Structures are given as structure tokens and as C-alpha cells.
Amino acid sequence: MGKLKAIIFDVDGTLADTEVNGHLAACNEAFARMGFDIRWSWEEFKELLKIPGNARRMRLALSTRTSLSEAELDRIVPELFALKKECYLKRVDKLPLLPGVARIIHEAIDRGIRLAIVSVTHEDQIVALLKAQIPEALDAFDPILGKQSGEKDSALYARCAAMLGCDVSEILVIEDSEKGVKAAKGAGLPCAVVYNDYTKGQDFTGAELVVRSLEHLNLDLLERLCLG
């Protein structure tokens, strides 16, 4: 029996490339359907990814590009974001898992390794993505800690580790961003980074492993490289 007892996955950019054809497209559709002349380009959206959460990004756009008052923003942003979520949920079947992800998940399930998620995305969007892309593994992910569980920070990662009931040295976090690495490492968790086009070049100091893809890795190799 190996040392690895659990894997915590991030979602956006780690499980699947959800940003361009998922969140960005859904935001733009929601803006259009509510009559706002705002359409983010991918370059604009990449910059906005530094701000956690699409509701915050959309509020920022409305506050700088319309004459809405704070009171109007308070009323409109929740409605706009609810519409964005609805648009996103219709797109999850077109957001395939990244190379190697499904294989690692199945390998973990076969070996009795626990699976969990820590993400800034709302739980219902995470569940919808899993249900669309890897339904047979949906029940294996427990806990799923998304937006409703609080800020994605070291405390949330520590909470997830406690819920898994494993020592931090037996858990591997798989992330795609500098912010995610810092949160995982702040909780004392080993972290592997699978970077993508919009996180490439970020500071992954402290990560046990930095790779472009999980495609050519298996659990034995991940365990050996990340958990020593």
C-alpha cells in the first residue's frame, strides 16, 4: 500500500479547460441577454482571472462600464450571475476533461484513494461538470468544497484535509495556478501543478512538481515525485 491516500483536485483549468468555452462564453451570453453592451475578449478575461469569482468580475465590469448605482448593482449582479450559471450549466457537456485526468481519477478509485475538490466555482457547477464528463466517478468525490464553502485559501484546504481524515503528508493537491499552490502549501499539503496557457509563467515556488499535462503520468509516478 502506497503513501498516497487522497487527491484534492482544483476544477477550472485543472480538471477541464472550462474558462474560454465555459465561463467566458456564459458571462458574455448573460451580459447580452440582460441588455448590457459588454463582451469580454479572451485577453480581457485572462486578466480578470486574477479576481476570484465571476460575480465579482461582472460587478467590476458593470461598475466601470455603466452608470449603475451601488444599490442597482446590488440588485442586478445576483440576477446576472444566476443567469450566467444557467448559461454555464448548458455548456458542461462541451467541456471535456483535460488529457490524463480521467485515467488518474479511475486509477485512484481502483486503488481506494479518496478524491475531493477545492475550487472557487459554485458546487452545482462542479457537480454538473462531473456528471457530464465523468458520471461514473461523481460519487467518489467527497467532499466537494466550492464557492459556498468559503474563500479558497489555506483554511479551506486544511478543512478539506480534515474531512478526508488523512495526514497532510498522505494527500496530494493538483492545482493549475500560483494562488492555488499558495493556498495548498499554506495548509502544509504537497502540491503538483499542471499549468495551462493562462497560468504558464506564474510563480509555483514550493510545488513538488510542475508539468504541462497529466497525460504521461500515473499515480505511482505522482506519488514518487510528490510524496517522496
- Exactly one of 12, 74, 110, 197 is catalytic; name it: 12
Relative orientation angle of helices 25-33 and 70-89, to the nearest 10 degrees: 120
**What H or E segment, with its residue span, contains residue 193?**
strand 191-194
DSSP state of 165: T
Predicted model pTM: 0.94
Mind listing the domains of the chain with CATH numbers?
6-17+95-227 (3.40.50.1000), 19-93 (1.10.150.240)
Cβ atoms of 28 and 39 within 8 Å: the answer is: yes
Cβ atoms of 58 and 84 within 8 Å: the answer is: yes
- For 67, other C-beta atoms within 10 Å of its C-beta total 7
Q: What is the phi/psi pair of residue 76, to 5°? A: -80, -40
From the list 143, 100, 153, 104, the residue with the least C-alpha distance to 123 is: 143
Relative orientation angle of helices 54-65 and 25-33, to the nearest 10 degrees: 50
Measured on CA atoms in the order 116, 120, 122, 125, is the torsion positive or negative? Answer: negative
Q: What's the confidence (pLDDT) of residue 52?
A: 83
Q: Which residues contact 104 (CB under 8 A, 6 or more apart)?
A: 7, 214, 217, 218, 219, 222
**190, three cell numbers:** 504537497
Q: What's the confidence (pLDDT) of residue 50?
A: 85
Mean pLDDT of each 10-residue bin along the chain, 228 residues long: 90 95 97 97 92 92 96 98 97 97 98 97 96 98 96 97 97 97 98 94 97 96 93
**Whether 10 is catalytic:** yes
Q: Which residues contact 182 (CB under 8 A, 6 or more apart)?
A: 154, 206
**Whether 12 is catalytic:** yes
